[in-house]
Structure 1
Amino acid sequence: MAVNIYDTANQLEQELRNTEEFTTLETAFGAVKEDEEASRVFNEFRQVQQTIQQKQMMGQEISEEEAAQAQEVSTKISQNEIITKLLEAEKQVGQMIDDINQVVLKPVRELYQ
């Protein structure tokens, strides 16, 4: 019986949704959305982060004003426990996805060794 790799990927997606790491992330994100201040600061953080990443990808320099804005929003983030819990949960899910990616790409790595 042939294995359909896309069925396996879809099963992995469902299993990811059921992990403790993902449910913790969902809960943390919900808490940020429910808290007006945390939501505002988090959205500001995402906007600043996106602007800086776009400039970096285009090879443009970050202005002193943008660097100061990034530092300011970073300070706000670190002082908001609701957001720091979200960022930690994101980190945990990211690590799990990196680990899974290593397993999935193992045959390709081995091929080129």
Structure 2
Amino acid sequence: NSDFISTDKAMLSKVLENIFDNALRFSHEEIIFSIKEKEDYLYFSMQDDGVGFTSEELKSAASFFFSSASNGGNFGIGLSICKILSEKFGGDIFLDNLPDRGAIITIKIKK
């Protein structure tokens, strides 16, 4: 385990800014941000206490220009940019709902 990583600061900042912006838009009162290290990867998770993703959003929200009536119209390109940048880091993006409430977006990047 290391206390430092060497990465593209601008790309990582953009990814984290996008998932934080989504959490701010959809949360009611609470946002939880966590960072975990497992093997050769770091996992950045942003969890909110909003209504969560629909099943269609879970499948397609990271696609370019995906729109959904339940979220006020459009995810735009924010999550799709996060997906592309995460893949450039050797990782991926994961969207899920929490069992009790809200959504969680996790970004996986290679250390």
TM over 0.5: no
Category of TM-score, reference length = shorter chain: 0.3 to 0.5
Q: TM-score when scaled to structure 1?
A: 0.33
TM-score, reference length from structure 2 = 0.34
Higher strand proportion (structure 1 or 2):
2
Structure (1 or 2) with the greater helix fraction: 1
